[in-house]
């Protein structure tokens, strides 16, 4: 009989933890327990990727009637109904959570709907009063959005709150310039909200290719998103006068209903945060403006607070992340960690890969380091950004490169006179001819970059791209038709 209750106990029911638990139980016969204090599915399914992408889909319908009219269709649309959409969205999240629970149950994983903390290297304490021991413990508790340290920050909401809003605001200030801030700026603008965005840096989407993020900023502004770079909040407070943002001249009552310029009805009470009326914001650029909502998208923090890890000798980084080696093992040999709580590459597919590598290493006797190289990613702005490999800026610091790039108006929107532009870009090593990076700004760039990522992961050269016949007429054909570099560095 084993000296432990379980071979593996997983803390956290998100994508990474669930995958590790069910693979360990289902494929190796390990006895596995898992505790989740909130909802199964974690950030991605409940508070991130899935509901956000559904909102992206919803927001993209806004201009269809106008565009279709220019193509000859007689189509009319009414106002967007948040209640209809959010009801269906929450129904889908409930369904997916049920899928996660069923997968765990079907694999023989014993689940506990409560919080788990660490007592010793082999023991977890459950908030229901039970103690469970395990030969190995895997921490997969993810992360959370944080508010800035400033007075009245509680008046604002964070990304988790967006999905719980009872109704849409008429106006919103989004603070931040990362991918979460930019995605929600585009989503909410598409749903009819007046969006203003403050970012303290010189350009949004820091860390992505400079040329690509510059085009996205231009396209966002062209669509009507009011972006202010080099700008931050000095102070914020409830607006006692009850004025709406942007001089709409419509008052918001705590329980009443009013109609802004969009003609859409909005309730005055909203989910998330403590604010029940307009918020007056003073910015570093000297402006004082009033918004229905303020969304902070200024960073995330690993959920390590109160787990008892440091007391056991598990090392934490400056942001509270769990420090692990290439096999996801902490400084305490029996404790491992995967996903956003390690703050390595905070993407759901990466957490899943880390979970699978953990099972290979610990339960299948096949030491498998996690491969974090050449991970494709997408930013679901409008237009989207797809990226894999090195940016031009990073690549030219490493070696001599050639840059192949084109920006143009795509056929579908150029035909109806829209100024939208897209961008296709390859970064190529002069010495090896290997494609070091690919960056696409276009509708459905996320779909395109997945396929480009396969070629780049395989080590494709520029000549491999050149030998590939173009699919015509498409936007993506430009990736294989760019013959001459636009610059070398």
pLDDT class of 275 with cuts at 50, 70, 90:
low
What Cα–Cα distance (Å) separates residue 60 from each residue in 53, 65, 159, 393? 11, 11, 20, 32
pLDDT class of 277 with cuts at 50, 70, 90:
confident
Q: What is the mean pLDDT of residues 71-89?
A: 95
Closest CA to 239 of 228, 251, 256: 251
User: Does pTM surpass 0.95?
Assistant: no
Closest CA to 288 of 396, 127, 416, 173: 173
Closest CA to 43 of 101, 93, 81: 93
pLDDT in the model for residue 260 = 29
pLDDT in the model for residue 376 = 98
Question: Is the pLDDT at 248 greater than 80, yes or no?
Answer: no
Q: What is the mean pLDDT of residues 278-306?
A: 97
pLDDT in the model for residue 1 = 53
pLDDT class of 77 with cuts at 50, 70, 90:
confident
The catalytic residues are: 472
Task: Identify whether 30 is preceded by a cis peptide bond (ω within 30 of 0).
Answer: no
Spatial contact of 292 and 172, defined as CB atoms under 8 Å apart: yes
149 is in an annotated binding site: no
Ranges assigned E (strand) in 230-343 = 233-238, 257-259, 265-267, 279-283, 288-291, 293-296, 300-302, 335-337
Q: Are strands 110-112 and 32-35 parallel, antiparallel or unpaired?
A: parallel
pLDDT digits (tens, 9 = 90+) for 38-64: 999 999 999 999 999 999 999 999 999
Q: Which residues, including other chains, have CB under 8 Å from residue 31's CB and lie 6 or more apart? A: 2, 5, 6, 7, 8, 25
The residue count of the chain comes to 489
Rounded Cα distance between 71 and 275, Å, is 44
180 is in an annotated binding site: yes
Sheet holding 487-488, edge to edge: 377-379, 384-389, 435-442, 422-429, 401-408, 487-488
**% of the chain exceeding 70 in pLDDT:** 92
pLDDT in the model for residue 276 = 60
pLDDT digits (tens, 9 = 90+) for 185-223: 999 999 999 999 999 999 999 999 999 999 999 999 999
Q: Supply φ then ψ for residue 89, to 5 degrees.
A: -60, -50
Q: Are strands 265-267 and 257-259 parallel, antiparallel or unpaired?
A: antiparallel
178 is in an annotated binding site: yes
For the chain, helix (H) and strand (E) counts, in that order, are: 13, 24
Spatial contact of 134 and 141, defined as CB atoms under 8 Å apart: no
Rounded Cα distance between 101 and 106, Å, is 9
Question: Is the pLDDT at 249 greater than 60, yes or no?
Answer: no
For residue 188, give both structure tokens: 């909410």
Q: What is the mean pLDDT of residues 271-290?
A: 82
327 is in an annotated binding site: no
3-class secondary structure per residue, 41-73? EHHHHHHCHHHHHHHHHHHCCCCHHHHHHHCCC
Task: Identify whether 348 is preceded by a cis peptide bond (ω within 30 of 0).
Answer: no
**% of the chain exceeding 90 in pLDDT:** 91
Least confident of 28-42, 86-100, 271-285: 271-285
Domains and CATH numbers, the chain: 6-144+301-364 (3.50.50.60), 148-239+276-297 (3.50.50.60), 376-488 (3.30.390.30)
pLDDT class of 253 with cuts at 50, 70, 90:
very low
44 is in an annotated binding site: no
pLDDT in the model for residue 266 = 31
pLDDT digits (tens, 9 = 90+) for 424-458: 999 999 999 999 999 999 999 999 999 999 999 99
Spatial contact of 376 and 398, defined as CB atoms under 8 Å apart: no
> 467 vs 261, which has greater pLDDT?
467
CB atoms under 10 Å from CB of 153, counted, come to: 18
277 is in an annotated binding site: no
For residue 92, give both structure tokens: 């889908």
Rounded Cα distance between 431 and 438, Å, is 18
Q: What is the mean pLDDT of residues 374-390?
A: 98
For residue 113, give both structure tokens: 């709907």
23 is in an annotated binding site: no
Rounded Cα distance between 368 and 327, Å, is 7
Q: What is the mean pLDDT of residues 69-88?
A: 95
Q: Are strands 32-35 and 6-11 parallel, antiparallel or unpaired?
A: parallel
Mean pLDDT of all residues belonging to the chain: 93
Question: How far does CA 358 lie from the centroid of its chain?
Answer: 24
Q: What is the mean pLDDT of residues 366-373?
A: 97
Q: What is the mean pLDDT of residues 127-135?
A: 98
pLDDT class of 251 with cuts at 50, 70, 90:
very low
Rounded Cα distance between 328 and 341, Å, is 11
């Amino acid at each position: 009989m084993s000296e432990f209750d379980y071979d593996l106990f997983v803390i956290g029911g998100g994508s990474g933890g669930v995958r590790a638990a069910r693979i360990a139980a289902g494929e190796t016969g390990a006895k596995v327990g898992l505790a989740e204090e909130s909802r199964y599915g974690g950030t991605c399914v409940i508070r991130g990727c899935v509901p956000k992408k559904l909102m992206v889909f919803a927001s993209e319908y806004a201009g269809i009637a106008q565009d279709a009219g220019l193509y000859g269709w007689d189509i009319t649309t009414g106002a967007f109904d948040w209640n209809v959409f959010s009801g269906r969205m929450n129904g889908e999240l409930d369904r997916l959570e049920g899928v996660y629970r069923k997968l765990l149950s079907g694999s023989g994983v014993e689940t506990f709907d409560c919080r788990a903390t660490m007592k010793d290297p082999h023991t977890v304490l459950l908030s229901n009063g039970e103690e469970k021991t395990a030969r190995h413990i895997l921490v997969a508790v993810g992360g959370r959005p944080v508010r800035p340290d400033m007075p009245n920050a509680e008046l604002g909401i964070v990304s988790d709150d967006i999905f719980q809003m009872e109704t849409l605001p008429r106006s919103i200030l989004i603070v931040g310039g990362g991918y979460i801030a930019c995605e929600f700026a585009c989503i909410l603008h598409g749903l009819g909200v007046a969006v203003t965005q403050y970012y303290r840096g010189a350009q949004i989407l820091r860390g992505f290719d400079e040329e690509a993020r510059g085009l996205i900023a231009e396209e966002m502004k062209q669509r009507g998103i009011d972006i202010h770079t080099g700008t931050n909040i000095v102070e914020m407070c409830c607006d006692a006068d009850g004025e709406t943002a942007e001089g709409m001249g419509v008052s918001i009552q705590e329980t009443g209903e009013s109609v802004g310029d969009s003609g859409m009805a909005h309730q005055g009470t909203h989910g998330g945060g403590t604010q029940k009326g307009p918020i007056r914001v003073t910015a570093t650029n000297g402006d004082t403006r009033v918004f229905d909502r303020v969304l902070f998208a200024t960073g995330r923090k690993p959920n390590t607070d109160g787990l008892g890890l440091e007391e056991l000798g598990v090392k934490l980084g400056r942001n509270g992340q769990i420090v692990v080696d290439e096999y996801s093992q902490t400084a305490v040999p029996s404790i491992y960690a995967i996903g956003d709580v390690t703050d390595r590459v905070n993407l759901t597919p990466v957490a899943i890969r880390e979970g699978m590598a953990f099972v290979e290493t610990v339960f299948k006797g096949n030491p498998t380091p996690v491969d974090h190289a050449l991970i494709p990613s997408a930013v679901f702005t409008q237009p989207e950004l797809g990226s894999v490999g090195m940016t031009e800026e990073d690549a030219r610091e490493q070696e001599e490169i050639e840059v192949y790039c084109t920006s143009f108006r795509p056929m579908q929107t150029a035909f109806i006179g829209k100024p939208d532009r897209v961008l296709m870009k390859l970064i190529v090593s002069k010495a090896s001819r290997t494609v070091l990076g690919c960056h696409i700004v276009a509708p459905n760039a996320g779909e395109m970059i997945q396929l480009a990522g396969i070629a780049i992961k395989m080590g494709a050269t520029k000549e491999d791209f050149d030998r590939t016949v173009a699919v015509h007429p498409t936007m993506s054909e430009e990736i294989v038709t760019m013959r001459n570099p636009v610059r070398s560095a």
